[in-house]
Structure formats: C-alpha cells, structure tokens
Amino acid sequence: MMGERQTDQPELFYGFSIERHVRADHLLRSIDRFVDLGDIREQLRPYYSDTGRPSIDPELMIRMLIIGYCLGIRSERRLCDEVHLNLAYRWFCRLGLEGAVPDHSTFSKNRHGRFRDSDLLRKLFEETVARCIAEGLVGGEGFAVDASMIKADANRQNSTPGDEWEPPDDPGHAVREYLAVLDEAAFGGATPVVPKFISGSDPASRWTGANGGLAFFAYCTNYLIDLKHAVIMDVEATTAVRQAEVTAQRRMLDRTEERFGIWPERLAADTGYGSAENLAWLVHEKGIEPHIPVFERERTDGSFDRPDFVYDHDRDLYTCPGGKELRRYWQEGRAAKARPPIDGIYKYRARKSDCDGCDLRERCRPGDAGRKLLRSIHEGARDLARDLSVTDAYLTSRRERKKVEMLFAHLKRILKLDRLRLRGPNGAKDEFLMAATAQNLRKLAKLIPMPQPALA
C-alpha cells in the first residue's frame, strides 16, 4: 500500500544536528582533520585595534577561502551564498544553523590589509607542507620544478604599447604594486626587453603569445614538488618570462631548505632550466644532481657539431675529427696572463692553415679565420648533466616530472584557476598560495584515510 506523509500534527520541538547531516566520506570532513587555525588570532592580533566593534572572525574567513579554493568556487559572492545554504560548508566553518555569513566585501578588505601585512597565506601554506612531512608524504630525495601561465584579469583591448606607457596621475593598487616591483628579479627586473603591450588595469602582467594562439596578459605560477607523492613544497608567482622562472626555482629551493631543512639529491626540470649558469648553481653551490636537459644550440646544416670534437682537460684544447687542435691561445704565455671572459664564454680556434688544407672542410664548414668552438666557464656542470642524461635514474626523473604538469592540469580544470580574479603581483601571490594550499590539503585527504569508528 502506498504510504502518505502525515502533516496534520506538526511537532512543537525539533532536534537537529549538522554533524549527522554531513556524510562521513565528504571531502571537507577529511580535509578538516588537517586544518589547524588555533593560533591564527595571535598571529593577527597586532593588526587589529584594541577598541571598537568586534570584527569578523579571521578563522571563519580563512575556512571559507579554503572551501572556495578546494571546491573551485571562484566568485566570493557565490562562495558566501553557498556557505549560507550548504550544511557541509556551515559545518566546516563552525557556523551552525543560525551563524551569520560575512559579506563578500569583507574578504577584499582583509586581503589587502591584515592578511598580506602578516604574510598569513604563506604561513598557512607552509603549515600544510609541514603536515605532509609529518605524515610521511615527503621523500626529500627528488624534486621537480616547472611553471605554468595563468591568464591575468586584464582585457587585451585595454592596453598600451610598452614604449608609450606612463603611470596615471591617480594610480590604483595594481599600478602601485607594478611600480614597486620594476627592479625585482621575479617581475620587472627579469628581462630588459620592453613588453609589446602593457595592460592598463594590471601592468605587472606580461603580454605573451607562448601558447601559440592569441596573445594575452599572464602571470606564471611556479611549483617545486617532491616526487614521492607530488606534494607542493613551495610556490612562487612571477611574470611570464623564462628568466623569472629560473629565479623562482632558486628562491624556492633556498626557502625550502631554510624553512624545513630539506634539499633534494636531484632536481628534474625541462630544458628551460638547463642554462650553464643554472646548472653550475645547482651542482657547485647546492650539490644537487641536475636531471635537466642541457640547453644547447645545435647546427642544423649537417656539419660537425660540438660532440664531434674531443676535449682534453689537462691540455685545455679540442681535437677536431681531422686530428687538428683548437686552442684558446696559440702564442706562448698568453694563457697565463688571461683573465676569465666577461661573457663567461671561452673561444677555441683552429689554425687557418689547418682548415684550408683539410679534407673534411666541406663537412666542418669553418669560417674565414678557421673553425671556432665556444666553451662555457660552467662547462663542467654541463658535462655532468650530459653524463646523467644517459642513466636509469634520469629516465625515472623524466617520467616522474610529469607529476608537476598533472598538478597544473588539476589546478586549471578541477580548481578552475585558469584565470586570476585578483590583480597585481600581490593578488597573483595570494591566489597561487591559496591554490597550492588547497591542492596539498586535498592530497592529504586522499592519501591519509579517515579513522574508522570503533565497533560497539
């Protein structure tokens, strides 16, 4: 017999518990185990006044931001609506049924003030890294580094040619931040090249067409990850220029060593990090094996290239396929007086008479003055990287390096961070830090199982 819901005798009192209405396997219930905000008020206390009306609880705002970034809710207006309506979100935020949700404008006020002044989001991210280390998710032996471009909140049409841009008379916060980082290596100081266009709304973002389609304004998020479980060890925001990415790699390695006392035995990266200077820094200053392809300019005309020449380290000379020598100096005593080259490149030349009478001249294709080879002052580090590239460990690192690319795909497709909502270098830093925090929390929730309730 079909049942019928009885509504004629409503109950006078109801017993309701949000705890019972949040599923045991809900993502936020698993994440909540790893969110410890007990000391957040002490960290922010110097940035609040001792008088006046009580403010919105900072822990509530941070918990709401964690929900937004973990579940891909990009709009703060929508986030406030979702927290108001969703029982699981209210449970995570400790709001109960009657708790009031703050207005969306509260986030902007605190982000531009207290959160940035106290570096709270950086500390929150590092707490998730420390928790991953404590849970045994970090191996510490192999790291990988890479960068990915994220579109800035800047319209392509609202731009000015780079050599014509001038700051407005009444600049907004994004313009003021741009002027403040003009000489910083991660932004304005990364390259002397003037960008083709500069955005009027976010001038620190970089005009780039690196993706092959329509050019756009972008920032780069740089990840340093541990290869054991793809835990993000550090994150850095930079302009979308390769030189800035190498700078970010060095900062992240130094900061990870300083904060957690961890530095890897090997570092995996793509060819963009394979410059002679960077390889020398990794090998000689940090003692890290570079599992990185060496950046080289190869001849495309089929003539003899560098690998065809044999270097004699003791005599400091090259021998060509024809058995002739290439030296830095052919006059006796010049080598003893020589100073390191300003550009960091040694030049080795063959005698013109040797090249003119050589049977292999057509394949060697020397210049009018004889064949020349260039050798970096950091060639030892480059040779080490070449030797490592034929090992089994290098092949393993090359395969595992894809984990950082998978994190970028997760960032854009699942967490919806394919375009920034905040402007300026500080806005990019805030978004990238919160996104990396969310990814580490989701990693913890996935790999550390929920404790099972005790059987009666």
Give the Å distances, CA to CA, from 97 to 19, 20, 285.
11, 13, 57
Residues of the chain below pLDDT 70 = 1-15, 333-338, 366-369, 453-456
Give the pTM: 0.89
pLDDT at res. 420: 95
Helices 392-400 & 402-413 angle (0-180, nearest 10) = 0
Cα–Cα distance between 57 and 237 in angstroms, integer?
Answer: 28
Q: How far apart are CA 134 and CA 368, in angstroms?
A: 64
* Spatial separation of the C-alpha atoms in residues 452 and 11, rounded to whole Å: 35
**Confidence at residue 40, expressed as pLDDT on a 0 to 100 scale:** 87
What is the structure's pLDDT at 198? 93
pLDDT of 120-159, one tens digit each? 999 999 999 999 999 999 999 999 999 999 999 999 888 8
pLDDT tens-digit map of 325-341: 888 888 776 665 667 78
Enumerate residues 6+ apart whose C-beta is below 8 A from 318. 309, 310, 311, 312, 325, 326, 327, 348, 373
CA atoms within 13 A on the CB side of 412: 13
CA within 13 Å, CB half, 78: 8
Structure tokens at 450: 């929920």
Distance from C-alpha of 438 to C-alpha of 172, rounded to nearest angstrom:
29
Write a three-state SS string for the chain: CCCCCCCCCCCCCCCCCHHHHCCCCCHHHHHHCCCCCCCHHHHHHHHCCCCCCCCCCHHHHHHHHHHHHHCCCCCHHHHHHHHHHCHHHHHHHCCCCCCCCCCCHHHHHHHHHHHHHCCHHHHHHHHHHHHHHHCCCCCCCEEEEEEEEEECCCCCCCEEEHHHCCCCCCCCHHHHHHHHCCCCCCCHHHCCCCCCEEECCCCCCEEECCCCCCCEEEEEEEEEEECCCCEEEEEEEEECCHHHHHHHHHHHHHHHHHHHCCCCCEEECCHHHCCHHHHHHHHHHCCCEEECCCCCCCCCCCCCCHHHCEEECCCCEEECCCCCEEECCCCCCHHHHCCCCCCCEEEEEECHHHHHCCCCHHHHCCECCECEEEEECCHHHHHHHHHHCCCHHHHHHHHHCHHHHHHHHHHHHCCCCCECCCCHHHHHHHHHHHHHHHHHHHHHHHHCCCCCCCCC
Contacts of 365 (CB under 8 A, 6+ apart): 301, 303, 304
pLDDT digits (tens, 9 = 90+) for 373-413: 888 889 889 999 999 999 999 999 999 999 999 999 999 99
Q: Count how many Cα atoms sit within 13 Å of the Cα of residue 99 in the half-sphere of its side chain.
A: 20
First to last CA, the chain: 36
The per-residue pLDDT for 454 is 60
Contacts (Cβ under 8 Å, ≥6 apart) of 125? 235, 433, 434, 436, 437, 440
pLDDT of residue 441: 97
